[in-house]
Amino acid sequence: MSDAIADYASKLDAQRAGVCASLRDCIGEFLPQATGKLWHAIPVWFIGENPVVGYTARKTGVMLMFWNGQHFGEPELEASGSFHMAQIAYNDASEIDRAKLAGWLRKAGTSIWDLKGERDAFVANRRAKKAKAAASGLKAAKASKARKVAKKAARTSATKPAKKAKRKPSRARTKK
């Protein structure tokens, strides 16, 4: 158990701190392979490098979030955000159904959204697009410069009269 997570709950009122303590105990019991820490200032548990469950204190209660919760097929979990997250709100520790929570935590331990992998793939894809755009921009810049030079040459030859070539007098060879 992370001291930072305990500190998080210690700063809350008794009711929300009680919800946090119950959730933390259940997560520890039913998801022992997860490692908890503060992430973006809220308690979050990770399996490997991927977040799987966390909670945040709100004005009226505590929001329990599952990063891949939309894939659990659980009607009590409300979809949240544009990714895979689903959540449920608790106003009091007595509202927590340990049996349901145990099932959700088991799913969270096996149905893991590879956030790190998706983020790494997104960054790699963005870098590849930028590199391709830069290379294409370089080609376009070279082509644009060539077109400008050709236009200038065309304008110059169209506006200036052609220079007459000076003829050098031929030296006739005479036989002696």
Full-model pTM: 0.66
Report the interhelical angle of 98-110 vs 14-30 (nearest 10°). Answer: 50
What's the distance, CA 142 to chain centroid?
A: 34
Cβ pair 31, 108 in contact under 8 A: yes
CA dihedral 29, 31, 36, 41 (to 10 degrees): -100
- pLDDT, tens digit only, all 176 positions of the chain: 468 999 999 999 999 999 999 999 999 999 999 999 999 999 999 999 989 999 999 988 999 999 999 989 999 999 987 678 999 999 999 999 999 999 999 998 887 766 677 777 778 888 888 888 777 777 777 777 778 887 877 776 665 555 555 666 666 665 55
The pLDDT assigned to 129 comes to 85
Q: List the chain domain ranges.
A: 3-113
Nearest to 5 by CA among 106, 23, 52, 63: 23
The pLDDT assigned to 65 comes to 96
The pLDDT assigned to 148 comes to 82
- Domain at 3-113: CATH code: 3.90.1150.200
56 DSSP β-pair partners: 63
Say whether 128 sits in a helix, a strand or coil: helix
The pLDDT assigned to 103 comes to 95
The pLDDT assigned to 150 comes to 78
What's the distance, CA 109 to chain centroid?
A: 22
The pLDDT assigned to 124 comes to 85
The pLDDT assigned to 14 comes to 94
